[in-house]
Amino acid sequence: MADILVSISDLRIFSYGTTIGCGLLLWMLEGLKPFFSPQKNRSVHAKLNLSMAGLNLLILLPSGMLMAFMLEWSRSVWPGIGILALPPFAEAMVIILLIDLWMYAWHRLNHETALLWKFHSIHHSDATLDVTTSWRFHYIEILFSELLRFPLFMLIGAGIEHLLLYSLLMTPVIEFHHSNISIPPAMDRLARLIIPSPMMHRLHHSRQRSEHDSNYGSMLSLWDRLFGSFLLSNNLEGLRLGLDNESDPGRQRFSALFMRPFRP
């Protein structure tokens, strides 16, 4: 048990290090070449979003430890897709694809279910899209997500090594497509053949519901194309980010965001 704890801790430290490193790099690039007009109070905006991320770590850290033991136990009684006896690399790729499909489905449910939208809308109420927005979620959304992941990942036979590998691949993609970096149109077109590109995800953060109910993919753009939620506009001039009546500065305080889903 001690060996498992040590190995999980090492992998998690590496995963979080990658997240922080990519985030800092993108933060610096946003300051050098932003897509939207440069923010006046970047540090204030980042402080709010990072405060919400810090609160979520109180759920994610113990949940990750519990997940590791639950998955280790479940694979001893139910192999999941291990029953197919695939080579390890092929098995890992199938599991990662299934995890990313779940992430797509979960994200879409958060938009299409009124109760879940109450919490997910906190993420969308950010009127200033940048890399720190990728870490801004209400703690109840994180709690729901973690509770639903347990039985699903046990069913498919995922191991903690698969989850950490997925996190290493997915987190930089999420940070990238939330970032306020101006990249050449050709690069964006190339990127969105595989991953949700910044132009795709900026449309997802539009105030217009017909636009923000699209482009749900986390790591791969494949699912949006398969399930008809792919939407694109090469001209985002005049795009308004955030949510009507919820993105005003007075409603963008930590306490207001914390309590907003519980308001009538």
What pLDDT was estimated at residue 38?
Answer: 72
What pLDDT was estimated at residue 6?
Answer: 43
What pLDDT was estimated at residue 7?
Answer: 52
Q: Which residues of the chain have pLDDT under 50?
A: 1-6
Per the structure, the complete domain to which residue 231 belongs is given by: 2-262
CA–CA separation, 79 and 141 (whole Å)? 29
What pLDDT was estimated at residue 237?
Answer: 81
DSSP state of 38: P
Number of domains comprising the chain: 1
- Does pTM surpass 0.85? yes
What pLDDT was estimated at residue 1?
Answer: 43
Q: In 3D, which of 236, 65, 235, 230 has the Cα closest to residue 160? A: 65
Cβ(35)–Cβ(198) below 8 Å = yes
